[in-house]
Homo-oligomer: A and B are copies of this chain.
Amino acid sequence: MILLIGGTGYIGLKFQEILSSRNIEFRNLSRSEVDYYDFKTLNDVIANAKPQFVLNAGGFTGKPNVDQCEINKSGTIIGNVLLPQILGQVCELNDVPLVHVSSGCIYAGDKGEDADGNKIGFTEDDVPNFSYDQPPCSFYSGSKALGEEILSKFKKVYTCRLRIPFDQFDSNRNYLSKIQRYDKVYNAVNSISHREEFVNACIDLALRECDYGIYNVTNGGYVTTKQVVECMKKKFKLQKEFEYWEDDSEFYTKGATAPRSNCVMDNSKLLNTGIKMRYCMDAIEDSFDKWVKE
């Protein structure tokens, strides 16, 4: 049996759906039922349930976006730092592995270009460069990096980095929906994570008993916002011209408060386990092909 924390968020719901469809027995721990921020309560639940592993899809992401984390610092620290610490401790005490949903947003940029002109992505060995320890960062990114740091002390942890989730289901959390709804688009280079592939990979890392540690759970390669917009226009046969923010200074003056992470990730550690992830652009085209309006 698998114990799921935070099963009602955008990623958590997909965990519930996939675990069900794969006939994997699980229990979604809702906060109204169990105060999992209370160490003793959570410890009792896990000691009794003896789950095969715990999946933490909980955390504080801010609504409608990460700018909210600049305002709600307490919620951000509690959800992204204190909760991982409690989960790490309780899982360690009960010798249960923990799968923690982290984020690739603790990096900015890339590591230069290879001989073919392809951008080189950050690996799990690279120290986060968009964190409290390497500012500037958003309060959100800093809290996620600190959450990883806290969890690095515990042995049986899979830290799975999600990066800009998307799929074919229209939603205000879906990257492909966001792009359609923005008045103005910010052009950037990013690695991204197909939601279902991400969720399957997290589950498989634990089920297959892969080595513990951090994994960049992103699709292969990277995309520019312009590529995604062009793909969408083609697939949806749109005539509309998309406006782009002129530069960072215009974007951060008018479009956003907290600095945003844009980064290229290297997913080869994950691929080396045998778990498959499609290339970014393949997964995006497929999502547009199967598009389901909200």
**Residues of chain A at the chain B interface (Cβ within 8 Å):** 38-40, 71-74, 77-78, 81-82, 85-86, 89, 92-93, 131-133, 135, 142, 146, 149-150, 153
Contact = CB atoms under 8 A, between A and B. Distances in A.
Contacts of A77: 77, 81, 132, 146
The DSSP consensus for interface residues of chain A is: helix
A92 B86 CA distance: 14
Contacts of A150: 82
Nearest to A81: B77
Given A39-B89, A89-B89, A142 B74 contact: yes
Contact of A74 (B39, B89, B132): B132
Nearest to A135: B71
Contacts of A132: 72-74, 77
A78 B132 CA distance: 12
Contact of A82 (B39, B81, B135): B81
Contact of A133 (B74, B82, B133, B135): B74
A89 B85 CA distance: 11
A38 B74 contact: no
A139 to B, nearest CB: 8
The 6 residue pairs across chains A and B that have the minimum distance between CB atoms: A73-B132, A74-B132, A39-B89, A74-B146, A74-B133, A77-B77
Nearest to A143: B77
A73 B153 contact: no
A75 to B, nearest CB: 9
Contact of A85 (B82, B93, B133): B82
Contact of A142 (B73, B93, B133, B142): B73
Q: Residue among A78, A85, A146, A153 with the most chain B CB within 10 A? A: A85
Most chain B beta-carbon contacts within 10 A, residue among A39, A71, A153: A39
A85 B77 CA distance: 12
Contact of A149 (B74, B86, B131, B142): B74
Contacts of A135: 71
Contacts of A78: 146
Contacts of A142: 73-74
Contacts of A72: 132
Contacts of A81: 77, 81-82
A81 to B, nearest CB: 6
Given A39-B89, A77-B146, A85-B85, 4 more contacts: A39-B92, A40-B93, A73-B132, A74-B149
A118 B73 CA distance: 35
